Amino acid sequence: MALLEVEDLRIAFGSSTVVDGVSFHVDESQVVSLVGESGCGKSVTSLAIMGLLPKLRKSGRGGGAAVSGRAVFDGVDLFGLSADQMRRRRGADLAMVFQDPLSSLNPVVPIGRQITEVLERHRGLRGEAARKEAENLLDRVGIPDPRRRLGEYPHQLSGGMRQRVLIAIAVACAPRLLIADEPTTALDVTIQAQILELLKDLVDAEGTALLMITHDLGVVAGMCNVVNVLYSGRVVESSSASRLFAEPTHPYTVGLLGSIPRLDLPIHEPLKPIRGSIADVIRWGDGCAFAPRCDLVGAECVAGEPMLKGEAHAHRCVKAEEIA
Amino acid sequence: MTIAKIERLDRLIEASVTARDAESGSLWRQSLRRMRRSPMAICGAVIVGLFFIVALLGPWIAPYGPTEQTWGGEVFLNQNIFPGPRAENWFGLDHLGRDMFSRMVVGARQTMLVGVVATLIGFAAGAVVGGFAAAAGTFGGRWGERLEAVIMRAVDVALSIPMLLLALSVAALLGPSLTTVMIAVGVAQIPIFARMLRGSMLAQAHSDYVLAAISMGVPKARIVVSHILPNSLGPVIVQATLVLATAIIEAAALSYLGLGNPDPGTPEWGTMLADAQRFLSGAPQLAIYPAVGIIITALGFTLLGEAMRESLDPRLRRQQ
């Protein structure tokens, strides 16, 4: 059985629906990614799973999110839990690594205390025991001289080290699912590779499942088992990573792959960008939302809702045969 | 690599490690180190330090008793004639023939006491009210929000009453005494502190590290106390130093209106200022000494507070 099963997730802020029926699942010790450009709903999806979106009030004011659907984690629907039950799971069963390591750490609290805080909360460790464990964690994420680092403040660490600290906090209680929301976006390229390596090692060693939110297909190729490509709030293609890269079937995926610079292409060959930008021109109910930007667009593309077809390698395109 | 080269590398590494160690240490120790380098902080600290020394040691520094009178045919009340500064009386004599310098020095203690205690009362009560309102509004759900709205509207009402009037009403309720002045002035500062702390906490409540702490299942109370509060205190501390200055002025106003310490034996800068008003046209120096004293003290606290905020602010820390 899947560890996390997201079914028909819908998220709306006021009248605009940002996630429109997303389903995917994450198995034990599997690395699954949600890929898409800015605004496709990938970060909101992860925040919804963690229960971190602002709640909708009965009055309808205040800009809360209306979330429907199910997110079944280990047999329990996370959306059905009370705030208190959810709080007990966060950090212990599911944990999250955020995008910007500087603003995600409290600037006036030494990192040691930010780590022991979680250990106290979920593992009941106190005093010297918590300190020792925090030291171990820092050591595990590859921070040299951990004992001294515990007393330092976030501004004294480099960007890569801060992200390592965040990862240490996230894995402190051996969560079964780790959600990483663009964990390498704020870092430079050499550090990105180290952080990905670290995440991969931790996931392999503990058998943790990892849900990776990213817009970087290079990251996906490097570490993910399963890829879900999101466009305008829906999954447009879902398959194992190797098959997705070998034979992409949705024009959007093809476009994403085509816009990556490649070492084996001639030097002056221009990149092929996808035309336009993401916009709510067409609702999914009327046709394919990607149609306005698609090179292969035809009349059948906007004649009704395109369905997700296929089992192992699913796609949402009526012209899939033409691409293959 | 030759041995000499390796040794040089070792030395370099050692030097960089010691340099880094000098940069570490606790938050307060670091900010202290930064403050020692800031001219603003030094000026403020010197003024405040001198003020506290004078306030504490006043009776021993003063050459005469604060109530000792020298008539000697020098002071003519009706003709506005008072001896100005001279060797025996540095600041001259007042309308009752008392040594102004001694009265200034001895009076500093009352001024300090009123300022500090009133500010502490305002700070403590305001922090409780504002902190509670912010915590309820952020994490208390729907009822918490309502509670916050009620508290903050009450604070708004208190804030809309002129501060002196508020202090005056409290003082009138309690009767004239030194304690009254402290409480009255302190109570009048509560709404300011409450608003400041709440605003500052709300700004922090939406920061990424709070979201990160929530995502790790840290309990709400703990997030408020150990994450939001320490990050919100900076502006409130600066406000406290500014309020100290206002408190001194307000205490003077209350004394002038007859609600201060009724004992004429203990001089106070505010009362002295009020007394001097009668002779302003003929002998303005009587008003200038206490007024300048109040201004310099207020300036000292403001400089120190501003420097403190800058050195405590992690965002400004790297720029030096």
CA B236 – CA B197 distance, rounded (Å): 6
CA A252 – CA A274 distance, rounded (Å): 8
Closest CB to A121: pick one of B208, B218, B230. B218
- pLDDT the model gives residue B2: 64
Split into its structural domains, chain B has a count of 1
3-state secondary structure of A211: strand
All residues of chain B having their beta carbon less than 8 Å from the beta carbon of residue A117 are 213, 216, 218, 222, 226
Parallel/antiparallel/unpaired status of strands A177-181 and A16-26: unpaired
- pLDDT the model gives residue A285: 79
Would residue B267 count as lying in a domain? Answer: yes
Q: For residue B231, what is the domain's CATH number?
A: 1.10.3720.10
**Preferred mutation among A46, A106, A165 to probe B, highest tally of B CBs within 10 A:** A106
- The radius of gyration of chain A's CA atoms, rounded to the nearest angstrom, is 21
Is there a contact between B181 and B113 (Cβ–Cβ < 8 Å)?
A: no
All residues of chain B having their beta carbon less than 8 Å from the beta carbon of residue A172 are 216
Would residue B308 count as lying in a domain? Answer: yes
B38, pLDDT greater than 60: yes
Using CB atoms and an 8 Å cut-off, which of residues 9-38 of chain B contact chain A? 23-24, 26-27
Least confident span in A43-57, B22-36, B180-194: B22-36
Q: What are the pLDDT digits (tens) for A136-154? A: 999 888 888 888 889 888 8
Would residue B2 count as lying in a domain? Answer: no
Using CB atoms and an 8 Å cut-off, which of residues 128-157 of chain B contact chain A? 142
- pLDDT the model gives residue B120: 92
Is there a contact between A319 and A300 (Cβ–Cβ < 8 Å)?
A: yes
Read off the pLDDT of each residue in A16-44 and give the average, rounded to a whole number.
87
B7 or B192: which leads in pLDDT:
B192
**Contact A121/B230, CB-based, under 8 Å?**
no
B252, pLDDT greater than 60: yes
Q: Can you give the residue ranges of every domain in chain A?
A: 4-236, 247-323
CA distance B302 to chain A (A): 23
Considering chain B, what is the average pLDDT of its residues?
Answer: 79
A97, pLDDT greater than 70: yes
Least confident span in A287-291, B290-294, B306-310: B306-310
Would residue B129 count as lying in a domain? Answer: yes
**Contact A104/B217, CB-based, under 8 Å?**
no
When pLDDT is cut at 50, 70 and 90, the band that residue A210 belongs to is very high
Q: What are the pLDDT digits (tens) for B111-153? A: 888 888 999 999 999 999 999 998 888 887 788 888 988 999 9
B226, pLDDT greater than 90: no
CA distance A103 to chain B (A): 5
B262, pLDDT greater than 80: no
When pLDDT is cut at 50, 70 and 90, the band that residue A299 belongs to is confident
Using CB atoms and an 8 Å cut-off, which of residues 145-164 of chain A contact chain B? 148, 151-153, 155-156
Closest CB to B215: pick one of A52, A105, A156. A52
Could you tell me if A118 lies within 8 Å of chain B, comparing CB atoms? yes
When pLDDT is cut at 50, 70 and 90, the band that residue B1 belongs to is low
Considering chain A, what is the average pLDDT of its residues?
Answer: 85
B15, pLDDT greater than 70: no
**Contact A108/B27, CB-based, under 8 Å?**
yes
| ipTM score | 0.71
The parent domain of residue B266 ranges over 51-56+107-312
CATH entry, A4-236, from 3.40.462.20, 3.40.190.10, 3.40.50.300, 3.30.70.360: 3.40.50.300
Read off the pLDDT of each residue in A179-183 and give the average, rounded to a whole number.
89
When pLDDT is cut at 50, 70 and 90, the band that residue A212 belongs to is very high
The secondary structure of residue A272, as a DSSP letter, is -
**Contact A90/B212, CB-based, under 8 Å?**
no
pTM over 0.80: no
A296 or A111: which leads in pLDDT:
A111
- pLDDT the model gives residue B319: 47
B280, pLDDT greater than 50: yes
CA B260 – CA B178 distance, rounded (Å): 6
All residues of chain B having their beta carbon less than 8 Å from the beta carbon of residue A152 are 24
- pLDDT the model gives residue B320: 42
